[in-house]
A and B are shown apart, each in its own frame.
Chain A
Amino acid sequence: MGLIGIVAKRLLGAIPSLAGVVVVTFLLSHALPGDPAVLFAGPAANAESVAQVRSHLGLDRSLPVQFLSYTSDMLHGDLGQSLTTGQPVVTDLVQRLPASLELTAAAILFAVVVAIPLGVLAATREGSWIDHLCRSTVTLAAAFPTFFVALLLVYVFYYLLRIAPEPLGRLNDVYFEAPATITGFYLIDSALAGQWTTFGGALAQMALPAISLGLFALAPIARITRAAMLTALGSDFVRTARACGLSHRKVLVTYAMRNAMLPVANVLGMVFSFVLGANVLIEDVFGWPGVGAYAVKAVIQSDYSAVQGFILMMATVYILLNLLVDLLSIAADPRVRMEG
């Protein structure tokens, strides 16, 4: 099977997951105890308006019929209206998604850039101080609640040291002008437009949330990198490479690291799940105008279409990220290609 065939097969493999996600979000809102019409009608509804909402939502029809109309609405990009903003849920989510993606990407970038060298160094110098540092960081970071770390960082860097900006949103628009939307990522947009002061302002706002979110992702990546590197360094092919007199660098980077990256890529799937979940908490702490903070408000106010849309979107993003990791590991490791 050619490379294209394998990629196509993986793409098709994501479809059952997506279908499962759609079914679950549908069931969560329609088949559970309690009356969704009451939920959708809001707290101030009377019996008449509930009945009206029920027929408007089609809740008086049979479950399979409802499912069909739900999927068809969804495929047409209609996720219903948000009660709190009064806008279509899709509009709300699309508006806020870039902020969340930018934060998540920055956090994962931070985690990977710190965790992989830390894990590699810990494995090459097993038992040294850096190994102990790696292991204690991993144990501690796994026990810290993300939202607590975020608050601690705010206290230290904003209140005590006064080097971080006020933890409110993506950009302080009193001092900076938001860049024109190209990608929706403030850092990229401002760099493209050459607005370097805005870039600096956005970077300063992003630093604390991205680091608190990244610390959370750091532990599993560092642990797996260390373990995978130890396995790779102890293997026969590394011993052979050393015996053949290859340079230390060549053995480490070309032979050991390349082989150790597959388990790391595999753990990234789990890391994405954690980070997309913790994203909600971090956005709540930093007043970040992303989909997570939007969903928290929606959940508290029982704005169910908004919550449903959010879950659907996050699950889709998660499945796509996993697909990306899958494709990357196919590119990195020919053995995965063989398994098809």
Chain B
Amino acid sequence: MSATTQPRPPRSLALLRATRYTLAENQLTLVACGLFGILLLCAVFGAVIAPYDPLATDMASRLKPPTAAHWFGTDALGRDILSRVIVAARLDLGMAVSAVAVSFLIGTALGAMAGYWGGLVDAIFGRLMDTIMAFPLFVLAMGIVAALGNSVLNIILATAVINLPFYGRFARAEVNVRRDLAYVEAARMGGNGGLRILSGHIVRNILPTMAVQASLNMGWAILNAAGLSFIGLGVRPPTPEWGIMVSEGASYIISGEWWTFVFPGMALMLAVFCFNLLGDGLRDVLDPRRRT
């Protein structure tokens, strides 16, 4: 090492600077971070924070509008809506995160292999993704849940399947442009096998862009899972979940009890909004070239 080489700042420091720059430039991302913190808090400590038992019914005070005692009012069985909205965060976010994680892992693995080896593997992979995309995605999810059985696990599985093409195709494209780059050639010259080059060299490099894709995709996964439970699939009453709460509250619109569906709906909307903004922010930090 010659003495004239400038010491490069460590990578983590550069990332920190980019984060600070993005946050300072776009306050909405900061708001999203705050929202994310609240959501996380509700998901982890929901049962502790909630002022009432989300399942405790009280027929004496059913369908009461928001008051100081019940900030979000009470539902048809006298349950506290605020408590139910808070506790539901774990299930809603849990379903979306698990679905995204499954399709992220499988999609990246399959897409990377298709992009690296090409040929028959790529042809089969392409046909598979095309077949999934040939369906209106929510309809396919409905069909999967209907066939596999009506459970939360199958909602997660169905959401994962319909998200698979987004990760798969993205990973395939990202790997495809890298497979003949100099560092990959060098690794090949060093005697590394295909799987080792993929896992040790290429996938490592596409992870940041894949992470951006995942966070942009989270909001959509939440909407899908909640949509499925809105039509009565997966989650069963009295489990608190935003989609099913909106659907239960819907019958009280005609008589004007708006709080029964507005608060869970708002929670759902804010969660999706938060992940969309976080995804945009994360893209600005990790992948500045794709800024819009």
Indicate if the CB atoms of B292 and A24 lie closer than 8 Å: no
Indicate if the CB atoms of B144 and A28 lie closer than 8 Å: yes
Does B289 reach chain A (CB closer than 8 Å)?
no
Cα distance, A24 to B230, chains bound together (Å) = 25
Does A259 reach chain B (CB closer than 8 Å)?
no
Does B69 reach chain A (CB closer than 8 Å)?
no
Chain B: minimal CB distance from A313 (Å): 9
Q: Which of these, B138, B226, B265, B268, contacts A280 with CB under 8 Å?
A: B138
| Chain B interface category by residue count | 35 or more
- Chain A residues, CB < 8 A from B150: 302
Does B41 reach chain A (CB closer than 8 Å)?
no
Known: A148-B269, A151-B265, A281-B227. A299 touches B139 (CB 8 A): no
Indicate if the CB atoms of B227 and A147 lie closer than 8 Å: yes
Task: List residues 221-273 of chain B with CB under 8 A from any CB of chain A.
Answer: 223, 226-227, 230-233, 243, 246-247, 249-250, 253-254, 256, 258, 261-262, 265, 268-270, 272-273
- The stretch of B52-60, B76-84, B129-137, B175-183 in contact with A is B129-137
Does A142 reach chain B (CB closer than 8 Å)?
yes
- The total of chain A residues at the interface (CB under 8 A) is 55
Known: A273-B136, A277-B139, A318-B136. A143 touches B276 (CB 8 A): yes
Indicate if the CB atoms of B219 and A147 lie closer than 8 Å: no
Known: A20-B131, A142-B276, A144-B269. A151 touches B139 (CB 8 A): no
Chain B: minimal CB distance from A142 (Å): 6
Indicate if the CB atoms of A318 and B231 lie closer than 8 Å: no
Indicate if the CB atoms of B262 and A152 lie closer than 8 Å: yes
Chain A: minimal CB distance from B192 (Å): 36
* A271-282 interface code vs B (CB 8 A; 1 in, 0 out): 011101110110
Cα distance, A148 to B227, chains bound together (Å) = 10
Indicate if the CB atoms of B139 and A311 lie closer than 8 Å: yes
Chain B: minimal CB distance from A161 (Å): 12
Indicate if the CB atoms of B134 and A28 lie closer than 8 Å: no
Chain B: minimal CB distance from A100 (Å): 12
Known: A20-B130, A304-B147. A151 touches B135 (CB 8 A): no
Does A34 reach chain B (CB closer than 8 Å)?
yes
Report 16 cross-chain contacts, Cβ distance below 8 Å, ordered by A residue: A32-B147, A32-B148, A143-B273, A145-B227, A145-B268, A148-B261, A151-B246, A159-B253, A159-B256, A302-B146, A302-B150, A307-B142, A311-B140, A315-B134, A315-B135, A318-B134
Known: A147-B230, A299-B231. 4 other contacts (CB 8 A): A16-B130, A139-B277, A143-B269, A307-B143
Closest CB pairs A-B (n = 7): A277-B138, A20-B131, A276-B136, A148-B265, A143-B273, A28-B147, A17-B134
